[in-house]
């Protein structure tokens, strides 16, 4: 039996509503050129209030099923990566499974912010290699708009909502996931944070409508740390697998900010022509950004292409995955 893990299919979904930079001009002291110059973002998709991250995940799974004719009964593990689950309990993974007919899977959520997809890949990679599970579904579901304050120029311009579903299973050929590395730099644990709503600072009648509900970050510190972390972990995974940088067909960094993506490319001396970018359409969708790129470039990337994925998020959590496209 081939226990080499591989990505076997990808689905994705984004809401219809577009929040443009020109819309944001009416909500805060900013303008289209200022946002474009600093982030590369033109618009972001926003989910209807009261719908929740699970809705994004459900739609992405439905898209995957319709594309690949996947039988939901064969899924034996469902991992949901989300920064904003529907509830404290139950897991968002369980809700997604219930609504999509996935009845034979163990389900759980992970919280690794923008690096969540890489962390979930690491879990799936290990389980497939060990033969413990055969068909693992990673669902990235991020309703970030519900914890974004749209009069804050530091964060209100960045985030959008999206969902993606990625099927991981044993490869049917020699191609697949070669390696995954995940890391943390805990000195930055509170530099990207939502302070309210947890056990340390639960919401009550007095603070529910306060700024504690929203994402806050130290932009300059995050920028510097993100560039160095993604560049270094990418170099490390290539060196570990004795893979020359010039043989890589695509490098896909987390789509946090165009300046960060360009700085990672410069730090690695890697051509931007080999780095797919779609941040201008969706903004930063946290753990969804990488699978959303894979989804949009699915028919452009060829079987056997060498691809490196790398991400960085709150915690600080970061990591990289080296793979060859299996289909």
pLDDT tens string 135-163: 999 999 999 999 999 988 889 999 999 99
pLDDT tens string 60-90: 999 999 999 999 999 999 999 999 999 999 9
Per-residue pLDDT at 221: 86
HEC string of the chain?
Answer: CCCCEEEEEEEEECCCCEEEHHHHCCCCCCCHHHHHHHHCCCEEECCCCCCCHHHHHHHHHHHHHHHHCCCHHHCCEEEEECCCCCCCCCCHHHHHHHHHCCCCCEEEEECCHHHHHHHHHHHHHHHHHHCCCCCEEEEEEECHHHHCCCCCCCCCCCECCEEEEEEEEECCCCCCEEEEEEEECHHHCCCEECCCCCCCCCCCCCCCCCHHHCCEECHHHHHHHHHHHHHHHHHHHHHHCCCCHHHCCEEEECCCCHHHHHHHHHHHCCCHHHCCCCHHHHCECHHHHHHHHHHHCCCCCCCCCEEEEEEEECCCEEEEEEEECCC
Q: What is the mean pLDDT of the chain?
A: 94
**Whole-angstrom distance, CA of residue 64 vs CA of residue 97:** 13
The answer to whether residue 43 scores a pLDDT higher than 90 is yes
pTM of the entire predicted model: 0.95
- Per residue in 9-22, is it b (16+ CB within 10 Å) or e — as a string? bbbbbbbeeebebe
Q: Which of 114, 127, 143, 321 is catalytic?
A: 114
The answer to whether residue 173 scores a pLDDT higher than 80 is yes
Most confident region among 74-78, 196-200, 203-207, 313-317 by mean pLDDT: 74-78
Q: What band does 101 get if pLDDT is binned at 50, 70 and 90?
A: very high
Per-residue pLDDT at 143: 97
Q: Which stretch of 25-29, 204-208, 265-269 has the lowest confidence by average pLDDT?
A: 204-208
Per-residue pLDDT at 197: 78
Active site residue 254: yes
Q: Which of 21, 81, 135, 254 is catalytic?
A: 254
The answer to whether residue 246 scores a pLDDT higher than 80 is yes
Most confident region among 50-59, 195-204, 207-216 by mean pLDDT: 50-59
Per-residue pLDDT at 1: 61
The answer to whether residue 193 scores a pLDDT higher than 70 is yes
Domains and CATH numbers, the chain: 5-174 (3.40.47.10), 178-324 (3.40.47.10)
Q: Which of 135, 143, 284, 321 is catalytic?
A: 284
């Amino acid at each position: 039996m081939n226990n080499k893990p591989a990505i076997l299919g990808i689905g994705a979904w984004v809401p219809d509503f577009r929040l443009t930079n020109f819309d944001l001009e009416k909500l805060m002291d900013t303008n289209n050129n200022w946002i474009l110059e600093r982030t590369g973002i033109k618009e972001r998709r926003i989910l209807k209030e009261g719908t929740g991250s699970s809705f994004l995940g459900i739609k992405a799974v439905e898209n995957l099923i319709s594309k690949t004719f996947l039988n939901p009964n064969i899924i034996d593990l469902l991992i949901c990566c989300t920064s904003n689950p529907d509830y404290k309990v139950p897991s968002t993974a369980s809700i997604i499974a219930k609504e999509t007919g996935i009845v034979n899977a163990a389900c759980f959520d992970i919280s690794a912010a923008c690096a969540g997809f890489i962390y979930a890949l690491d879990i799936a990679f290990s389980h497939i290699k060990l033969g413990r599970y055969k068909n693992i579904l990673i669902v990235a579901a991020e309703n970030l708009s519900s914890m974004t304050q749209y009069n804050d120029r530091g964060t209100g311009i960045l985030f959008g909502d999206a969902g993606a579903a990625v099927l991981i299973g044993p490869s049917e050929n020699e191609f697949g996931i070669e390696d995954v590395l995940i890391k943390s730099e805990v000195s930055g644990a509170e530099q990207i944070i939502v302070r309210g709503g947890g056990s340390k600072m639960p919401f009550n009648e007095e603070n529910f409508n306060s700024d504690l509900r929203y994402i806050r970050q130290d932009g300059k510190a995050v920028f510097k740390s993100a560039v160095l972390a993604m560049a270094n972990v990418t170099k490390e995974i290539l060196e570990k697998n004795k893979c020359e940088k010039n043989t890589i067909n695509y490098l896909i960094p987390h789509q946090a900010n165009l300046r960060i993506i360009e700085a990672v490319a410069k730090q690695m001396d890697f051509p931007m022509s080999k780095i797919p970018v779609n941040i201008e359409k969706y903004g930063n969708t946290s753990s969804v950004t990488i699978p959303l790129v894979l989804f949009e470039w699915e028919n452009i990337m060829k079987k056997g292409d060498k691809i490196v994925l790398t991400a960085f998020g709150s915690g600080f959590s970061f990591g990289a995955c080296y793979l060859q496209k299996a289909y």
